[in-house]
Structure 1
Amino acid sequence: MRTASGPPASPKSPAPNVRGGRRAAIVRSSALLVGLTAFSQVLGFARDASMAAVFGAGSDVDAFLVAQGLMNVVLGLITGAMARSLVPPVSRAVDSGRVDEGHRTVRVALTVTTAVLVVASVVMFVAADTVADILAPGFDPATQRLAVTMTRIVLVATVFIAGTNLLAGAAQAHGRFFWSGVQGIPFNVVMIVVTVTLGGQFGVITLAVGFVVGSAVRLLAQLPAVRQIGLRLRPSFRVRDPGFREVVAMVPPLLVGSAILNVNTMVDRAVGSSQGPGTISSLSYGWRVVTLAEVVVVTAFTTALFPAFSALGTPERRAELRQATDRVLGVVLVLISPVVIVLAVAARPIVVLLFARGNFDSRDVELTSLAVAMYSISLVALAVREVAARTCLAVGDSRTPVLTALAAMVVNVVGDLTLGRWWGVGGLALSTSLSVVLAAVVLSLLTARRHQAVGLLPMLRTTLAVGIAAAVSAGCGWVLLKELPVHHAGDALLALGAIGTACLASYLGVLLLLRVPALAELRESLRDLRFRRTKPDG
């Protein structure tokens, strides 16, 4: 299936912020990705709920999550950097009609990445015992052995995930978003089936096996897009390819950025491993809840925008890029903020509704609810950071996001070693939120100063208006929460519905009174979804 993005636009095509055919195509592509991602995230919650019901939030799940983290030492350091670096040069090649050059770049990137990952996976397989000792020092011997065994299983998925990410990036550069958006659906279906049917009989080891099988199916889901864009999958080591050289030039700072993200997760889990069974899994479940909106709205939206942003990355089009970024930031702030309020106020009803069944007991509910409340602080900052980072990458600057991530890592590590040791789950989640807020603020300032690609004054005005609306909304939610009992899923559903309705109504009412410009941008986007434009206005 092909999204309604039309033929590749010329370099003089209207910018994404201009009303017209290209803008409407981007909006429709964004809506497609949002819908597919939302469905995938619903299945992801079903997957996590299945894990929670079968295994609870105990040491077995902690071991599986650490095993995934060890795999990410390999996967995150290489694949993420290569996939993100691939989109700008391939997008520009497609935009200017040099499709074959873009294909050549993809083939070289895929071949080199696969070769490096095979070697890295073998090294990690051999060193799994030592790395597990370092990254989860608080585990008892049985849990640690289980983590090592599952690490060696999930390493098989490394190449599958690398191929998926690179092929999805190539398709997105061609304006094809359906298959990249659908990839999480078969993965989650496989995980759910394996967990429910085999988990009780074979134990938590089935999660590792399901992860590998699901990753292979995810890769297969990208093949229709590969065929649609005319990409032939054959190995190529033509490392002198100009597009690949551009990718390689961007990789080192992004590699450091991926390493920083992994360090944050590893320190969280290393400290969490000494805070009692279930700490790591409670943090994981809580983070999963909080990042739903960020993944569905922000990541899906910016994924569709990234190729268009990349086309605006040249110096002569910087004003267009700044205007596009300002509009996207305004819309994102307006959309994400009420979700933050609902998560913070209704953390316990949400956790009871999603997870409180089977082996997920009252202690697990309390720990996960605390994690959701503390993590919710970071959600707006995650959204701002994602948009600003994509803007930096569009102009070829991968160093600025890394510098801000490095500063955030220091805050996170210090917070883990202090707040995390003092307050357990709450302290670990709070230190993560504080680090993300710092990263978002610093990255926005640097992007505005170095590239004039973010308007700080419009962003500040929108932030103040949204902050006022959010404060009123939170007050309404807290009043309702005190009056509503939450003992089981039925109570939780009623409480969540009442709190969500009250928060959203009060939030929108204040924004309308303040006449926030981003509301008009939202209305235009909705019109673009309803009325397909065939040529630019004016």
Structure 2
Amino acid sequence: MAARSGVGRAALLVSALTALSTVLGLVRDAVIAAVYGAGAQLDAWFVALGLSSILLGVLGTSLNRAVTPQVAREADGEGPGMPCAGHPGWWTASVVGTVSIGVVGVLLGLAAGPVSVVLAPGLAASDDGTLVLLVRVVLLATVLIAATDLLAGLAHGHGIFRWAALQGVPFNVAMISAAGLLGPRLGIVALAWGFVVGSLLRLALQLWPAVRLRWRLAARLDLRGPAWREISAMVPALMVGQAVVNVNTLVDRAVASTVEEGAVTAIFLGWRLVNLPQVLVVAALMAPLYPAMGAASGDPRALRRLVHRGTAVTLTVLTPVVVVLAVVPERVVSLAFGRGGFDDAAVAATATALVWLLPALLAVGWRQVVVSASYAVGDTRGPVAISILAMVVNVVGDLRWPPCWACPGSSCPRRSPCCSPPSSRAGCWPVATACSPPRSRADSCPGRRWEPWPRGRSAP
């Protein structure tokens, strides 16, 4: 009964531990922004990081979401105090996942040059090899992260959440050390190697409960077993859902890279601040709630009760957060990142991205709970349909909005102050500009009203 008992207590524990990791994550981002500023180097780093996230999302996250409910049901049937009997589906998923991600990572690393052109055409045109190097080094860590996430899913299935919630602590300490100590000497490459070391530390932390509690870990490949057949039946739809979601990130950063230096950074850091309450509330809540949903998949009333509790907590906590961030966006951005090389222009651009991204927060929180319930009962059609709709809205906004804001009768030139990279999350709201507004009336588009600045700030 491990997965279904004490969801509230587990959520509070995960929230507290996640808060510690998240605070260190903010310190990490602040140190990185102060050391490198908003420019081409940091844009290249976030683009390389995005490729790793896409690979892990499509393969790693899909497998993990398919495995966790099964592990929870198996652990739920073991009873308290009984030793772990092993999880054949998890064993096979671990082998398939790590090997697949490793092979794809090697292939992407070999083709890093052409891949970088697709990821960020604006940066690749003037790249001196930094973007290609960052892509290759970051891809080294994808296998480590995939194994870490699968181990965390195994722990969640057994009702153990603290180690997964703490994994961000050693990772962020490694990244902060790399940026602060090695960044001034090695440049942006220091972040990539810090990422690899931090990923190794995360994996070591997730191995500890498995060793201490003597869970049966085995590298077995049973592709014909009933456990793997159940998992593999869910994986294709999950991969489609994750793929279309990650297309949003790919298009966002590709379009932003053609605008001006720092645009990718502004969108990334703006979304980081918007996503912060989602991590503290929704992600912390879903850690115990998702395996509980999997264990309750055969009891519709219990599952419905869990969904209602999850959505109520999510919307109640996130609504006031959205209001506060909408009222004082620049103060929040300045407090988080406004120091060192992250100047006033970078603060203003990031604050603008923050304002446009805010409405997505409530929708993402609600969607996370509802989609997780669908996965728990084996329904993949609904989540895939939502993901496809989100992708269409996002891509159309990315590709069509900048020309609409350009001067009438003209195309949208690269680095034009009239052009801005739209974006969205969960198909909820288009994100307008992450670049600077026109500096004077003569620079602006005639006949257009330009109001990209956050509330309370006038154009310089």
**Normalised TM-score (structure 1):** 0.75
1:436 is the counterpart of 2:428: yes
Counterpart pick for 2:305 among 323, 335, 345: 323
State how far apart, in whole Å, the 1-side matches of 2:197 and 2:242 are.
25
Counterpart pick for 1:160 among 126, 131, 144: 144
Q: Which residue of 1 aligns with 2:18?
A: 37
Q: Which residue of 1 aligns with 2:235?
A: 251
State how far apart, in whole Å, the 2-side matches of 1:92 and 1:347 are.
44
State how far apart, in whole Å, the 2-side matches of 1:229 and 1:427 are.
52
CA distance 1:174–1:420, shift in 2 (3 Å): farther
Q: Output aligned runs, 1:50-449, within 5 Å.
A: 50-97=31-78, 100=84, 102-139=86-123, 141-143=125-127, 145-314=129-298, 317-420=299-402, 428=421, 431-433=423-425, 435-436=427-428
SS of 2:122's partner is coil
Q: Say what the alpha-carbon RMSD is for the aligned residues.
A: 2.2
State how far apart, in whole Å, the 1-side matches of 2:281 and 2:258 are.
35
Q: CA deviation at 1:421?
A: 5.3
Q: CA deviation at 1:234?
A: 3.0
Cα contact 1:415–1:427 (8 A) shared by 2:
no
1:8 is the counterpart of 2:16: no
Contiguous gaps of at least 5 residues in structure 2: 406-416, 431-454
State how far apart, in whole Å, the 2-side matches of 1:189 and 1:410 are.
38
Cα contact 1:108–1:237 (8 A) shared by 2:
yes
SS of 1:235's partner is coil
**What residue identity is the alignment partner of 2:350?**
T
Cα contact 1:271–1:421 (8 A) shared by 2:
no
SS of 1:222's partner is helix
**What residue identity is the alignment partner of 1:60?**
Q
Cα contact 1:94–1:102 (8 A) shared by 2:
no
Cα contact 1:105–1:243 (8 A) shared by 2:
yes
Q: CA deviation at 1:418?
A: 2.0
State how far apart, in whole Å, the 2-side matches of 1:49 and 1:364 are.
13
Aligned residues: percent identity? 41
CA distance 1:153–1:37, shift in 2 (3 Å): same
State how far apart, in whole Å, the 1-side matches of 2:269 and 2:61 are.
23
State how far apart, in whole Å, the 1-side matches of 2:54 and 2:289 are.
28
State how far apart, in whole Å, the 2-side matches of 1:245 and 1:437 are.
38
Name the one with the larger helix percent.
1
State how far apart, in whole Å, the 2-side matches of 1:48 and 1:335 are.
24
Q: CA deviation at 1:390?
A: 0.8
Measured against aligned partners, the alpha-carbon deviations of 1:16-39 in whole angstroms (never above 9, x if no partner) come to: 6xxxxx3xx211110111111111
State how far apart, in whole Å, the 1-side matches of 2:271 and 2:241 are.
20
CA distance 1:43–1:425, shift in 2 (3 Å): farther
Q: Which residue of 2 aligns with 1:533?
A: none
**What residue identity is the alignment partner of 1:66?**
V
User: How many pairs align?
Assistant: 420
**What residue identity is the alignment partner of 1:221?**
L
**What residue identity is the alignment partner of 1:342?**
V
State how far apart, in whole Å, the 2-side matches of 1:285 and 1:100 are.
42
- Deviating beyond 6 angstroms after TM superposition, the runs of 4 or more aligned structure 1 residues are none
SS of 1:344's partner is helix
**Normalised TM-score (structure 2):** 0.87
CA distance 1:230–1:427, shift in 2 (3 Å): farther
Cα contact 2:394–2:427 (8 A) shared by 1:
yes
CA distance 1:434–1:123, shift in 2 (3 Å): closer
State how far apart, in whole Å, the 1-side matches of 2:320 and 2:419 are.
22
CA distance 1:61–1:76, shift in 2 (3 Å): same
Cα contact 1:53–1:358 (8 A) shared by 2:
yes
Of 269-278 and 393-402, more deviation after overlay is shown by 393-402
